[in-house]
Amino acid sequence: MSQHILNHLSGVDRNLGGLIRAVGTYGLVIENNCHPYESLAQAITHQQLHAAAARSILARFVNTFGNGAFPTPEAVLAAPNEALRAVGLSFSKIAALKDLAAKTVAGVVPDREVLVGLEDAEIIARLTEVRGIGRWTVEMLLMFQLGRPDILPVDDFGVRAGFQFTYGLRKMPAPKALAAYGERWGPHRTAAAWYLWRACELKRAGTLPVPLEQIRLPRLPRLRRRRLASTVKVAKPKAATQVKAKPQAKAKSKQATNRPSSKKAKSTRARK
């Protein structure tokens, strides 16, 4: 990385500049010899597993269905689910791998040559169509496979924790707040993310520099609930009229009971 980029990051952010000086040389390694299909298949295999367990399952997967080479999409589509389950893959990962294989055959997941010519947003939109592939997975591919310089994975735990440590915050920033703050790092946000990962390592080693200045994260507009005043029912005076009418009704009923009936009145006059 050129010194110009490091000077830019240090110039727009004093705390990040202090972290850069503490870490030293930028060392993100680009692995550009891997097909996007293979990278995504490996990512699916590693999901929610310890690294050692994932490597073991991936090795059995390759040896069983690829004869030492990485299994082709056609081989994955032809493999029975029971055979894939036998190498240690869960049913959800089997479904994701088969969907990845089908979309690779259909061209939704292109080869590297095509992918290089696409914009970041288009790559994210296309690859997240695959079952089990989220934005974070595609961002890792953009950073470590394609070497895209302006990617900030705001949902990454390590990036958020590194930001918290570097800036002396009480808690990790929300992804949207981190995205808004990180706009100042563009167009070199990949480098900023790499240094924030290193901040976690310095924190564990006890060598993280003290923040040079206090910051305030951008305040994000909150969604306000619409007032439902128009839908609130107002009590009608009818109910009050009915309440007052009840005693009158009772009074009338009492008067009616006190009055003799017409038959009783006639019999009384007849006796007289």
Taking the C-alpha atoms of residue 105 and residue 99, their distance in angstroms, rounded to an integer, is 10
Closest C-alpha among 83, 80, 76, 116 to residue 98? 76
Q: Residues near 268 by Cβ (< 8 Å), separated by ≥ 6?
A: 260
Tell me the C-alpha to C-alpha distance, in Å, between residue 234 and each of 229, 238, 240, 252.
10, 11, 13, 31
Answer yes or no: 155 catalytic: no
- Rounded to 5 degrees, what are φ and ψ at 148? -70, 135
Tell me the C-alpha to C-alpha distance, in Å, between residue 239 and each of 226, 249, 252, 259.
30, 15, 20, 30
State the burial class of residue 103 (Cβ atoms within 10 Å of its Cβ: 0-12, 13-18, 19+).
buried
DSSP code at position 1: -
Contact by Cβ (8 Å): 169, 193: no
Query: Which is the catalytic residue, given 13, 111, 120, 156?
Result: 156
Contact by Cβ (8 Å): 126, 109: yes
Alpha helices in the chain (DSSP H): 3-12, 14-23, 36-46, 51-65, 73-78, 81-86, 91-106, 112-116, 120-127, 135-144, 157-167, 175-181, 189-205, 238-258, 262-271
Q: Which residues are catalytic?
A: 156
